[in-house]
Amino acid sequence: MKTLMTEEVAVIHSAYEDTPRTVAFIAMDKSMSVNKKLEKAFMLTNSIDDAWYTSDKVNYIGPEKSCRSSSVGDFVLIGNDKYECKDAGWSKVAYLLPAHEWSKV
């Protein structure tokens, strides 16, 4: 039942890395809006009181024992849609599709 009501969101660090890398998966309530999912993913992958990667709300999969906080230039993947963290908010990333499918972007 839990998996029917949640979806896994991926957090991808890319702002300061040579190549993008997925650092975490976070279970989100499917009924949340995209914006709420993006903001929650950002909040949960920032160290505020404790190191974010030790939280039981996040499945940390990074290659190191520790990990920087998410920041501008990083990405969140929700389903097949990828969003980039900007100075103010989020921007959906366009990806290459056949010309007849560009209406999806």
Q: What is the pTM of this model?
A: 0.85
Question: Does residue 26 register a pLDDT over 50?
Answer: yes
Taking CB atoms within 8 Å and a gap of at least 24, the contacts of 22-26 are 22/61, 22/77, 23/53, 23/60, 23/61, 23/62, 23/67, 24/53, 24/58, 24/59, 24/60, 24/61, 24/62, 25/58, 25/59, 25/61, 26/57, 26/58, 26/59
CB–CB of 49/94 below 8 Å? no
7-29: average pLDDT? 96
Specify the amino acid at residue 94: A
pLDDT for res 96 = 59
